[in-house]
Amino acid sequence: MHPQSWRRLQARRRFLSTCALGLGNVALGHLLALEGRAVATPRPGGGPLAPRAPQFAPRAKSVIFIFTEGGPSQFELFVPKPEMRKWDGKPLPESLARGLGDKLAFIKPTAHVWASPRTFTRHGQCGTAFSDWLPHTATCADDLCMIHSVVTDQFNHSTAQMMLHCGTPLTGRPSLGSWAVYGLGSESQGLPAFVVMGRPTPSTGKIWSSGFLPSTFGGVPFMNKGAPVPYLSRPDGVSAEAQRDRVGAIRALSEADYEATGEPEILARLASYELAFRMQSAAPELMDLSRESATTQEMYGVGRKPTDEFGTQCLLARRLVERGVRFVLLVSPGWDHHRDLLKQLKANCDRDDRPVAALFKDLKRRGLLDTTLVVWGGEFGRTPLADDDGTQPGGRDHHPFSFTMWLAGGGVPGGRVVGRTDDFGVHPVEDPVPVHDLQATILHLLGLDHERLTYRTRGRDFRLTDVGGRVVPKLIV
């Protein structure tokens, strides 16, 4: 059947079957959009990823989230606790151990206190403390906003990662990156709006899902060597003109199908086809690091061990936001240290410290930091208690009650420390920041109200922060 004939047939059937309800749905959608209660799905002309105006003036236009998968130990990196030295090898005071029993993954509250052997030094005019394992990150102290009191209610990896990125321990919900793209679209024409880099694990694969949002808003995993996306290259024997004609035919049929059904997944599929076509020229240019100076590559640690892989990813993250990508998720693996923590955590810092500092300084010198929000942290922290059985070098268990993350750029005050914990780092005693509050603040910096950024499905409106969340004023300039 000719496409024109097929479209006319579908239009007649659609009119006869749903005309009475169709006008009402259009009117309702228009009223909800006017009240700011919904983000309208763009028509095919603009596509689902067309740039959209924020709900109010934003401080940041893009986000780079450096996710330290597994939960880094705040005691070896950011929070010196001299009082713990007096209790080293002893049980926690009973007042602090009470209530921890059913919320620790592997150890018991009676495990002994382990005082960190790391040396801490205060850096910058702000005087923020960093351990000797983060010499490069420490040079950025006056531009970082440290949060020492992040709180989550999940103590297992998979559910805590879902909580941090998707606002709930349940699967099937959109991630933070997906919500940001859903609300704002993308300024990049040839690259995905939401890019993921790093080594995926069985649990982390869920944290860049679009959930119940159209699949266009999900994260697209990129490789940092060779072709960024598998099977992106044009097949042998297929010319650019033939491929363009094929994509054009798919567009015509998809637009007709969308007009007949209103199914947003049709637009998502169409956008994926067209984006892949444009990426065939944009992606190779992105991956060509020969355009970067030798000085820049050296700064990131590209081409040498142990920083080459993660340094390349950080450099690509800067190139991505430079090209209008809205959200970049960098997954740094292997921060779950139940055994041999001192050796393994030192290796992680040697791998990541230089590239992270280089990314920050590179964004700043290029004038990108003012509009790029950088987030660093894991799904939880580590306990002040030793997780060992006496047969192996010690580690620390999962600790959801208070842990450290940091923000920088994009409207965040530099050189500030938010939150304080007790002498053993067990609980916050000042400015606790629940995960939903952190998410609400990140969306706020992007010009999005976490209570108004909703998507209706399954009979109700859903949002990233569920029924909680508040913007934290101390995290905003």
**Domains, the chain:** 1-35 (no CATH), 44-234+281-475 (3.40.720)
**Hey, what are 179's tokens?**
């919500």
pLDDT bracket for residue 190 (50, 70, 90): confident
Q: How far apart are CA 441 and CA 470, in angstroms?
A: 7
Nearest to 389 by CA among 93, 113, 141, 111: 111
Note the pLDDT of residue 398. Answer: 95
CB 243 within 8 A of CB 232: no
Q: Which residue has the higher pLDDT, 288 or 136?
A: 136
Mean pLDDT confidence for 75-104: 90
**Pairing mode, strands 372-377 and 403-408:** antiparallel
The whole-model pTM stands at 0.84
In 10 A of CB 422, how many CB atoms?
A: 17
The pLDDT tens digits for 192-232 are 999 999 876 666 778 999 999 988 899 988 876 656 665 55
**Residue-wise burial string across 340-353, b where 16 or more C-beta atoms lie within 10 A, e elsewhere:** ebbebbeebbebbb
- Any idea which of 21-30, 294-303, 317-326, 450-459 has the lowest mean pLDDT? 21-30
Q: Which residue has the higher pLDDT, 115 or 246?
A: 115
Nearest to 476 by CA among 147, 166, 149: 147
Residue with the two structure tokens 């939903």: 436
Q: Name every residue whose Cβ is closer than 8 Å to that of residue 421 and which is 6 or more positions away in sequence.
A: 79, 148, 149, 402, 427, 428, 429
In 10 A of CB 55, how many CB atoms?
A: 18
Note the pLDDT of residue 45. Answer: 47
Q: What are phi and psi of 384, to 5 degrees?
A: -75, -5
Q: How far apart are CA 252 and CA 239, in angstroms?
A: 20
Q: Which residue has the higher pLDDT, 241 or 363?
A: 363
pLDDT bracket for residue 303 (50, 70, 90): very high
CB 229 within 8 A of CB 277: no
Nearest to 309 by CA among 361, 352, 345, 347: 352
Residue 177 Cα to chain centre, angstroms: 6
Q: How far apart are CA 425 and CA 384, in angstroms?
A: 7
Q: Name every residue whose Cβ is closer than 8 Å to that of residue 188 and which is 6 or more positions away in sequence.
A: 323, 324, 325, 326
**Hey, what are 383's tokens?**
């306990």
